[in-house]
Amino acid sequence: MDVKVKVFKMFNEELGSDLTNLKNIEQIHKKLEQGKNKVEQSLSLASMEAPSRIQEAVQEVNDIVCNVNKVKARCELLREEIEERLKQESRTLELQSIIDDISCLERASSYLEFVKFVEDMSSELEVSLTSGNDEACISSYCILKETCQNLESSSCANLKNYLRNTLYYWYDEIKNKFAREYDEVLVAVKWPFCGANANAAGTQSSESLARFKILTEHLFNLQLPDNMTKEKPSGISVNFVPVCLPVSLLVKPLRQRFFFHFTGNRKTNRVDKPEWFFTQTLNYIKDHVQWIDLVVQPIACMAGFSKTKVKIEFMREMVRMAVEKLNTELEDVQYDDSLFAHVVDEALGFEKELRDSYKYPPTEPAAVFVLTQAQIFIKWITMEKKYATEKMDAILSSESAWSKLPGLDRDDLKITICSDAFLTLLNIISDRYRLLPQPGHKLQFLELQLELIDDWRVRLLQLLHDDYKDPLSSLKPLILNAIYYVDTVLQDWGVSVPFLKLYFFKKQCEDAEKSMLQKSFSNTSIEENENDGTVFDEAISLLKRIEKKLMTEIGDVLFMEIKSKSRLYCNDKWFAMPSDKECLPSLTISACPMFQEIANRLRALQNALALPLFEQSWMNLALCLDKLLFEELVLQNKFNDGGAAQFQYDVRRNLFPLFGLYTKKPESYFPLIGESCILLNMLLGSVILLLEALENADEDVKKDVLADVNIHQLSSQLAIRVLKTRMDISTR
């Protein structure tokens, strides 16, 4: 039934409901015949190919079975080989156990031999020590020390401790013996060179000196390894590297003398006289370093310790004594301001003398290590600010504060005692913190200096507010000179190496803070300022603001006075002046008050202001005067031939020479009236041609035409206005 339904469905799809489609029945029949043939053909091919495919499958199965059998055979062989190897391994394990026992016994034997070696070396050391054979004693000790150093990598903790303890024991024994002998030899060579032996350096006998050299060489070799140093410094002494054994013994009598004088109830142990123990320390160094360098250093080199700088180690131990004493003194005086300040002053002087005169290396610790302890440093910088502020008050309140600094052959900067003293104060502070090892501490002192500069600026502003006199006879020029001098010096300081280093470190700190802010506030953008600068930029900027303000005030007052004296001159009868043919040329009478005022004011400015400020002032005055005469005189008047010639005579023969005292080319500072004189005194024919060109030509041509008659500053419009002030042009 399913087949029948499918057949009906197929015919319905092919023929449809239209009876005319029955003509296609023949095509459908052919199509079905073709399909039937294909099916029959495929069935016949399948019946022919089936046996061959079955045979192939069977063959593949047979091959797989063969391979499986081969693999089973190989596995069996491997199993037998593994069993044989395991039997051999069990025998090897038995042998390994025997070998391990042998190795253990060998290590135990070596251990015992090593212990016996140490005991033998101890016996040799004991014999050498009791018999006085120093060479053999030191030789045996060096062998024991080298053995101890070689054993450091061993895991035998008990053996290492045994060897260390043995080395410590013999070190103490030999050291005590040699120390006693060394004390006797030091007496023989008259060490130390102070007191009765002050001049004994270089006067020792050859025998005592030879014995000293031998013992010193033995002491160099006697030293413990670096990792076995017995002395563990504490407190402030932690900063000091332990010195070699000969130096510690050389320092011993000096240390005893130092403690005798500067401890307890001795008269020399005074809190208010720290300079005594500092001076004594420097004297110890001065009296002994040369002899140490000439005698002891060659012994160190012969003993194989050429890298040991004996002079530096001796100085370090001397400084250590002074530093320990300083630390004690500061603890006692830190609540007394005057005593504390005095101790700090002496400590800084000691440090400076040590570094500059005796070339004590900057990497070695000294007095500033005590001063930079947190509590002491805070107290120190507070005292610095207090005394600096008091000193600045004294400077400004002094009767001679604004007097010129005496002793200068040439005073172009008009240096006042006040400004010089203030810079000296800042420089002293710089010298005091110059030797500080940490840049962070230096920056705190730099902030103090910047605070003082700002405080000084504010006090000068207060003085200016209290001053209502005539500018040139008041404090304004003196304050202006002081500000300019301080500003100039600060600029020079800012580009010096020490302050550039501080600026670099300050920028690093600021960048680090900005980086932390960027991490905390990720949405906030912080601009980086990569421009070069100095630590004084902000202070200089504020000082320059006052400088500019004072320059403007002084210049405005002077110009207004000159302007008031110029009214008669500007309003003179320039249209009715006699020509130079009628009378001899001379200065216009109405110009005399103005020119006299200019000469007086220029002279007063030169006497009152520093040379750079004066040069800036007269240049500004010249430009203002040029603009005044051009606008109030040239453009507001009419000129006949005599008036033009008279104005040119006044300018070129009288005004320019006034400023010619200060420059070789005064005319360059009066471009407007200088070119106006050219236009007012040109021949009439040239003027008419020039006017036609200026009124009809384009801008480029106008510039070229004006340049041909040496007019470079005036524009074409202004040139026309000047030309039309001529009577011979305005009447045409």
* CATH number of the domain enclosing 659: 1.20.58
How high is the pLDDT of residue 275?
94
- Residue 726's DSSP bridge partners are 639
**61 has a pLDDT exceeding 80:** no
How high is the pLDDT of residue 408?
72
Sequence-distant (6+) residues with CB within 8 A of 645 are 577, 579, 580, 585, 681
The closest of 152, 157, 163, 156 to 122, measured between CA atoms, is 163
- For residues 534 and 495, is the Cβ–Cβ distance under 8 A? yes
Mean pLDDT of 622-638: 95
Q: Say how far apart CA 475 and CA 460 lie, in whole Å.
A: 10
Report the half-sphere exposure of 553 (CA within 13 A, side-chain side).
20
Beta strands in 462-552 (DSSP E): none
Mean pLDDT of 489-508: 93
User: What is the separation, in whole angstroms, between the first and last Cα of the chain?
Assistant: 134
How high is the pLDDT of residue 157?
83
pLDDT classification of 232: cutoffs 50, 70, 90: low
Residues 639, 578 within the same domain: yes
pLDDT classification of 264: cutoffs 50, 70, 90: confident
How high is the pLDDT of residue 530?
47
Q: Say how far apart CA 382 and CA 131 lie, in whole Å.
A: 64
**Domain extent for 429:** 377-543
**pLDDT tens-digit map of 530-577:** 457 899 999 999 999 999 999 999 999 999 999 999 999 999 999 999
**pLDDT tens-digit map of 103-156:** 788 777 777 887 888 888 888 888 888 888 888 898 888 888 888 888 877 778
The closest of 254, 263, 262 to 283, measured between CA atoms, is 254
Residues 501, 594 within the same domain: no
How high is the pLDDT of residue 212?
92
Mean pLDDT of 511-519: 70
How high is the pLDDT of residue 713?
92
Any domain includes 398:
yes
- For residues 481 and 416, is the Cβ–Cβ distance under 8 A? yes
How high is the pLDDT of residue 545?
95
Report the half-sphere exposure of 687 (CA within 13 A, side-chain side).
22
Any domain includes 285:
no
Any domain includes 159:
no
Secondary structure letter of residue 669 according to DSSP: G
Among 34-48, 106-120, 642-656, name the most confident range: 642-656
Phi, psi for 404 (deg, rounded to 5): -70, 145
Alpha-carbon distances of 352 from 355, 443, 728, rounded to whole Å = 5, 20, 83
- For residues 706 and 716, is the Cβ–Cβ distance under 8 A? yes
- For residues 488 and 413, is the Cβ–Cβ distance under 8 A? yes
Long-range contacts formed by 182-191: CB under 8 A, 24+ apart: 182/215, 182/216, 182/219, 182/249, 183/249, 185/211, 185/212, 185/215, 186/212, 186/249, 186/250, 186/253, 188/212, 191/250, 191/253
Structure tokens at 489: 């010096």
pLDDT classification of 529: cutoffs 50, 70, 90: very low
Mean pLDDT of 434-460: 93
| Domain limit, last residue, from 524, 543, 562 | 543
Any domain includes 36:
no
Residues 525, 591 within the same domain: no
Mean pLDDT of 467-471: 68
**pLDDT tens-digit map of 673-711:** 999 999 999 999 899 999 988 888 888 888 999 999 999
Secondary structure letter of residue 726 according to DSSP: B
Percent of the chain past pLDDT 70, that is, above it, reads: 91
Q: Say how far apart CA 445 and CA 38 lie, in whole Å.
A: 109
Residues 577, 719 within the same domain: yes
What is the secondary structure of 193-229 as a DSSP string?
Answer: -SGGGTT-TT---HHHHHHHHHHHHHHHHHPPPGGG-
How high is the pLDDT of residue 345?
93
The closest of 458, 428, 459, 460 to 445, measured between CA atoms, is 428
Residues 498, 641 within the same domain: no
**CB neighbour burial string for 318-330, b if at least 16 within 10 angstroms, e if fewer:** bbbbbbbbbbebb
Answer with the residue of higher pLDDT: 182 or 34.
Answer: 182
Residues 634, 715 within the same domain: yes
**6 has a pLDDT exceeding 70:** yes
Q: Say how far apart CA 171 and CA 103 lie, in whole Å.
A: 35
Residues 538, 583 within the same domain: no
**280 has a pLDDT exceeding 90:** yes
On average, the pLDDT of the chain sits at 86
The angle that helices 476-494 and 611-628 make with each other, rounded to 10 degrees, is: 120
Sequence-distant (6+) residues with CB within 8 A of 386 are 337
- Residue 404's DSSP bridge partners are 416
Residues 398, 493 within the same domain: yes
Report the alpha-carbon angle 481-486-488, nearest 5.
Answer: 95
Q: Is 259 exposed, middle or buried (0-12, 13-18, 19+ CB in 10 A)?
A: middle
Any domain includes 534:
yes
| Domain limit, last residue, from 490, 523, 543 | 543
Any domain includes 690:
yes
- For residues 343 and 326, is the Cβ–Cβ distance under 8 A? yes
Phi, psi for 577 (deg, rounded to 5): -80, 140
Residue type, 50: A
Report the half-sphere exposure of 603 (CA within 13 A, side-chain side).
7
- Residue 583 in 3-state DSSP? coil
Any domain includes 381:
yes
Residues 416, 474 within the same domain: yes
What is the domain count for the chain? 2
- For residues 222 and 245, is the Cβ–Cβ distance under 8 A? yes
- Residue 361 in 3-state DSSP? coil
How high is the pLDDT of residue 197?
78
**405 has a pLDDT exceeding 90:** no
| Domain limit, last residue, from 522, 543, 564 | 543
How high is the pLDDT of residue 523?
46
Answer with the residue of higher pLDDT: 33 or 90.
Answer: 33
**233 has a pLDDT exceeding 50:** yes
**pLDDT tens-digit map of 361-397:** 988 989 998 999 988 999 999 999 999 999 999 999 9
Residues 434, 483 within the same domain: yes
Residues 442, 503 within the same domain: yes
Residues 535, 580 within the same domain: no
pLDDT classification of 659: cutoffs 50, 70, 90: very high
Sequence-distant (6+) residues with CB within 8 A of 677 are 644, 647, 648, 651, 652
**pLDDT tens-digit map of 309-323:** 999 999 999 999 999
How high is the pLDDT of residue 520?
54
Any domain includes 371:
no
How high is the pLDDT of residue 279?
94
How high is the pLDDT of residue 385?
94
